[in-house]
């Protein structure tokens, strides 16, 4: 008789867990309180356009996420750079790029860093020291989680300007906190896996369609094809699990019996569902916000599909014109990570301020008419990747047999990214099926995922 697995949560972790369990022969039920799948990656309609709540990007090193896209039939609905190339603009027209060549890591970045005009020559000459030091770190060393990345960079002769104009271009969007606050362990993982261990690891990808389609509709079809029962718009009140008893899930006043339950919700929600004491001190993981400012112009103001900025309140900008369904003008989304300074501001203030900031980067934006503007916010987009968080992140297994955890906040070794979410879901499902497994196995099985 097949095992019955109930997955609580329809984000990427829950989708990955449900598909992995179903592919492993289990009878699976997935429960999601919203009326669509995708979790924190979602889209909304505004004046006939599809706007994404955030610009969720991935990299070529994200093999588990790429494998999930393949599993749900969405590999052809994303853009993935042939080679890393990030234009970096500053107000006044100064431009540089972070791009890789065909040389092996870490030499693949040497040319663009040597020509990186946003740093004085003396700072560019000092980059080799921390790069080589990062390559020598042992990512399994627990002491890396005791210091900030900013302090470590300062110890390797990186001045504040270099941190702001180079290191935080990568740290902030991947960890959702700046280097001054980030755990060295998490930052080292990002730089090693993405940029330094393999030349093509940091090639950037993003969705070419609304996230509601990429993760929502595609996943719903894949789950149905796998025989998963999906319950949308259903609220889970509690998960009951006791030693020696099968776990149950209380859903809208009724009980769902299961051999195993995977709780794949944000940690703040999971803490309200599982028995007391199971999650330890996950409340101390905290939260970091992401804000997106959506600006629609009456004409094209840039031909760049994606750009970073320094010396500006703008962090990253993405051209979402085609994916939104806009047939005239241009829709740019400004993505703001670690957005504590912006999450509480009024929408009209953010729209006005970032339209002006874009005009400083793209002169054509100053001559264009702003047709529409909107703001989307995720107040608790990720946990706060500060020193000490590694000890707070739980594994997939819990002290209660039959109860498992998934989510980007779990102990995957990755920061709170889509990759981490998918890996956690796969791991939890394998543990629920009694198959064990590890992230190493995930790497091997998904290494050939199409890019």
Question: In terms of pTM, does the model score above 0.75?
Answer: yes
Residue 220 phi, psi (nearest 5): -60, -40
pLDDT at 448: 32
The DSSP output letter for 48 is T
Torsion on CA atoms 144, 146, 149, 155, rounded to nearest 10: -90
pLDDT at 321: 98
Q: Evaluate whether 322 touches 344 at the Cβ level (below 8 Å).
A: no
Residue 180 tokens read as: 């001054």
Cα of first residue to Cα of last residue in the chain, in angstroms, is 37
Among residues 58, 393, 101, the alpha carbon closest in space to that of 193 is found at 58
Rg value, the chain, Cα: 22
pLDDT at 194: 97
Q: Give the pLDDT of the chain (451 residues) as one tens digit per residue.
A: 689 999 999 999 999 999 999 999 999 999 999 999 999 999 999 999 999 999 999 999 999 999 999 999 999 999 999 999 999 999 998 999 999 999 999 999 999 999 999 999 999 999 999 999 999 999 999 999 999 999 999 999 999 999 999 999 999 999 999 999 999 999 999 999 999 999 999 999 999 999 999 999 999 999 999 999 999 999 999 999 888 888 999 998 899 999 999 999 999 999 999 999 999 999 999 999 999 999 999 999 999 999 999 999 999 999 999 999 999 999 999 999 999 999 999 999 999 999 999 999 999 999 999 999 999 999 999 999 999 999 999 999 999 999 999 999 999 999 999 999 999 999 999 999 995 444 443 443 333 333 2
């Amino acid at each position: 008789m097949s095992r019955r697995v109930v997955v609580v949560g329809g984000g990427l972790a829950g989708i990955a867990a449900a598909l992995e369990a179903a592919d492993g022969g289990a009878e699976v039920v997935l429960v999601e309180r919203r009326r669509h799948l995708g979790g924190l990656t979602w889209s909304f309609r505004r004046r006939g356009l599809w706007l994404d709540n955030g610009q969720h990007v991935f990299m070529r090193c994200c093999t588990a996420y790429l494998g999930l896209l393949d599993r749900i039939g969405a590999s052809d609905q994303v853009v993935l750079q042939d080679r890393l190339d990030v234009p970096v603009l500053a107000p006044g027209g100064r431009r540089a790029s972070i791009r890789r060549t065909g040389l092996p890591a870490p030499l693949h970045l040497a040319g663009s860093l040597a020509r990186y005009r946003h740093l004085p020559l003396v700072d560019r000459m000092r980059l080799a020291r921390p790069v080589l030091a990062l390559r020598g770190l042992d990512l399994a060393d627990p002491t890396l989680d005791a210091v900030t990345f900013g302090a470590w960079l300062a110890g390797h002769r990186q001045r504040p300007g270099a941190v702001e104009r180079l290191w935080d271009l990568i740290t902030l969007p991947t960890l959702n906190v700046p280097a001054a606050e980030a755990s060295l362990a998490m930052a080292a993982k990002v730089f090693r896996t993405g940029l330094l261990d393999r030349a093509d690891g940091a090639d950037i990808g993003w969705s070419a369609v609304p996230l509601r389609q990429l993760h929502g509709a595609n996943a719903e079809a894949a789950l149905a094809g796998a025989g998963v029962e999906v319950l949308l718009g259903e609220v889970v009140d509690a998960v009951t699990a006791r030693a020696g008893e099968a776990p149950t899930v209380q859903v809208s006043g009724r009980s769902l019996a299961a051999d195993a339950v995977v709780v794949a919700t944000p940690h703040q929600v999971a803490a309200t569902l599982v028995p007391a004491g199971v999650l330890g001190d996950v409340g101390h993981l905290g939260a970091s916000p992401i804000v997106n400012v959506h600006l629609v112009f009456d004409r094209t103001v840039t031909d760049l599909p994606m750009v970073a900025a320094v010396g500006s309140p703008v962090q990253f900008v993405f051209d979402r014109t085609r994916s939104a369904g806009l047939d005239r003008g241009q829709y740019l989304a400004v993505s703001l990570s670690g957005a504590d300074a912006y999450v509480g501001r009024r929408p009209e203030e953010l729209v006005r301020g970032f339209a002006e900031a874009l005009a400083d980067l793209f002169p054509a934006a100053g001559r264009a008419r702003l047709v529409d503007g909107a703001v989307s916010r995720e107040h608790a987009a990720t946990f706060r990747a500060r020193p000490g968080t590694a000890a707070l992140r739980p594994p997939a297994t819990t002290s209660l047999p039959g109860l498992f955890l998934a989510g980007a906040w779990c102990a995957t070794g990755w920061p709170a990214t889509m990759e981490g979410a998918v890996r956690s879901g796969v791991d939890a499902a394998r543990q629920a099926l009694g198959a064990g497994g590890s992230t190493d196995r995930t790497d091997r099985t998904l290494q050939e995922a199409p890019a």
